[in-house]
Chains A and B, each alone.
Chain A
Amino acid sequence: MVEFARLEAAAIAPRVASGEWRAAAVIESSLARIEQREPDLAAFLALDREGARARAAELDRRRDAGERLGRLAGVPFAVKDNLAVAGRPLTCGSRALAGFVAPTTATAVERCLAEDAVLVGQTNMDEFAMGSSCENSAFQRTRNPWNRERVPGGSSGGSAAIVAAGAVPFALGSDTGGSVRQPAAFCGVVGLKPSYGRISRSGLVAFASSLDQIGTITRSVTDAALLLEILAGVDERDATTVDLPVPPFAERLESGLGGIRIGILDEIRESQLEPAAREIWRSAVARLEGLGASIHPVSVPGLESAIAAYYVIATAEASANLARFDGIRYGGRVAAPTLRETYAKSRGAGFGSEVKRRIMLGTHALSSGYYEEYYGRARDVVASLRREFDTAFERVDLIATPTTPGTAFPLGDRAADPLAMYLSDVFTTPANLAALPAIALPSGLDADGLPFSLQLMADRFQEVPMLAAARAFERDLGFEVRPALEEASDAA
């Protein structure tokens, strides 16, 4: 049997559209792989086998009737469980939303469906997208397909794990401080966070609205470009989407690295990286140079305060956004005599520890007497950071960093130390604060066989050279997404 699901979306869709492959066969292959991997990975919160089969049959019928199918014809995909799909459960990994059924469909999901992709299910995540390990899910711990004792990263950990396991070619996630890129890095796949305003967030449950972006997790840069082309563009339902023409990202993917100026940040010191990651980082920079890019030191001094500013702004916005989960209109309610007690008890019972911690931190940062000290100061830091990035991008086309300081850490390793967990987002949060696009892609394996990742950032709306550089790097490295668990179960 052809392993359809280990292929790229860009390879599957034309074959289904031409009739060479049946959509039903592709979906059966994907579902079989999910059955095989899911007991080990626990990546899904909900599966819709019947819905996926019915949809595949419908696509085959339409094709047989002579209809021309879309750019994702018959491609199975999964979505992080904070993206609404009408009639399907939507939990955000939280007990507060257990039993909730989404009344609408997110624009990003609609756009995939409009291109004839087939949704197979909702993936596990840190509760309300707050976390870097997927361990903050109220329901289950997802494991890393490269090593089941390691975390898959977070918060889009289920999406990254299932793509890495070869069960679907792509999944959607959301990235507020690195939640697409960091799990992609830990799982050895490609994570793209586009510029703020590029993809509609309508139907994405809000965490921190000035930072949230929907992103893609794929097995290749080619698929990241294809999906960005499909997902990008103005949407009446999200006023922050920017009305710019959507470039033909896929068409301009092979333009290479020749003449591209890449900045390396003075603020990133090798001592910040785990020892095993240093050599992989150095060789990634050498590879970029070898491919024709010129390397330049650049400085963004505001990076030193970026993580702190991020945790003030993100938690302040989260404390406001999550005020709606009060047990009144939807979600779990704990009955109490007064309204105030109903709020407090319902929220106390519905939210897990990390969500409570962040709501508390955000409420504190916004409370009387502390507002200027925290929120005002954090906004000043971000304004400076943006000016510094603007200056840097006058001198270079792209900025390269490691995606994370190290490879996937062991399950349970940082669960009791929130600050250590926050610090693992050091390289990813700046792109969110500065509204920049960024892509994470595999850059090699460490001695334990765990993937490490390169991050490329570009100026706002400059995804075209960023994707082309990523593609050139990917092609030259020839990294194979074949995690250990996949190998083991193939041999069995």
Chain B
Amino acid sequence: MALSTDEVLRVAALARLELSPDEVRLFTAQLRQVVEFVDRMGRGGSGNDLSTADGTRTAADVPQPGLALEVFLANAPEHRGPFLVVPRILDAEAPAEDTRRDG
């Protein structure tokens, strides 16, 4: 399955990445090559029980201190007093189509 320019633009939108026209051209060619390589991947048997994390434990359900507010805000791109400043969220735009699968 070769990737078209439109598909590269669709994937960039899903990935929330703004690309320059040069990057779109470059990535269309490079990703096509990589996807062709990946397409040659064989098929394993069925039943992909991949428990890399055998033995994974769940943490005890007890409250732990989080980051101190001043430590968090020290890395914030923009803040006003104790509040993180973010662009307007409501009424900003209609929800875009998102075909990314959960999980």
* A→B interface (CB under 8 Å): 100-101, 103, 196-197, 210-211, 236, 239-240, 242-243, 302, 304-305, 308-309, 311-312, 319, 323, 326-333, 335-345, 347-349, 351, 353, 356-357, 359-361, 363-371, 373-374, 376-387, 418-419, 422, 435
Main secondary structure of the interface of A (DSSP, over half): helix
- Are A319's CB and B15's CB within 8 A? yes
- Are B16's CB and A344's CB within 8 A? yes
Contact partners of A329 in chain B: CB under 8 A: 72, 75-77, 84
| B40 beta carbon closer than 8 Å to chain A | yes
Instruction: Name 15 extra pairs, CB < 8 A, besides A380-B44, A382-B44.
Output: A197-B55, A305-B42, A312-B38, A328-B77, A335-B87, A338-B88, A341-B18, A344-B13, A357-B30, A360-B17, A363-B11, A364-B31, A365-B38, A369-B99, A418-B33
Main secondary structure of the interface of B (DSSP, over half): loop
Q: What distance in Å separates the Cβ of A235 from its nearest Cβ neighbour in chain B? A: 10
- Are A381's CB and B42's CB within 8 A? yes
| B2 beta carbon closer than 8 Å to chain A | no
Provide a sorted-by-A list of 27 A–B residue pairs whose CB atoms are within 8 angstroms.
A239-B57, A243-B55, A302-B42, A305-B41, A308-B37, A329-B77, A330-B75, A330-B76, A331-B75, A332-B77, A333-B78, A338-B92, A339-B86, A339-B87, A339-B88, A344-B13, A344-B18, A347-B16, A357-B30, A364-B11, A368-B100, A370-B1, A376-B48, A378-B41, A380-B43, A418-B34, A422-B37
Q: What distance in Å separates the Cβ of B86 from its nearest Cβ neighbour in chain A? A: 6
Q: What distance in Å separates the Cβ of A216 from its nearest Cβ neighbour in chain B? A: 21
For A327, give the chain B residue with the smallest CB separation: B77
| Residue-wise interface mask of B (14-41) relative to A, using a CB-CB cutoff of 8 A (1 in contact, 0 not) | 1111111001001100110111011011
**Residue from B35, B48, B87 within 8 A of A382 (CB atoms):** B48
Q: How large is the interface on B (under 10, 10 to 19, 20 to 34, 35 or more residues)?
A: 35 or more
For B58, give the chain A residue with the smallest CB separation: A239
- Are A100's CB and B16's CB within 8 A? no
Within the assembled complex, what's the spacing in Å between the Cα atoms of A344 and B15? 8
For A345, give the chain B residue with the smallest CB separation: B18
Within the assembled complex, what's the spacing in Å between the Cα atoms of A73 and B67? 31
Within the assembled complex, what's the spacing in Å between the Cα atoms of A374 and B3? 14
For A304, give the chain B residue with the smallest CB separation: B42
Within the assembled complex, what's the spacing in Å between the Cα atoms of A384 and B13? 34
- Are A377's CB and B41's CB within 8 A? yes
Contact partners of A383 in chain B: CB under 8 A: 44-45, 47-50
Q: What distance in Å separates the Cβ of A340 from its nearest Cβ neighbour in chain B? A: 6
Contact partners of A323 in chain B: CB under 8 A: 16
Within the assembled complex, what's the spacing in Å between the Cα atoms of A359 and B19? 12
Within the assembled complex, what's the spacing in Å between the Cα atoms of A422 and B54? 29
- Are A435's CB and B101's CB within 8 A? no
- Are B57's CB and A419's CB within 8 A? no
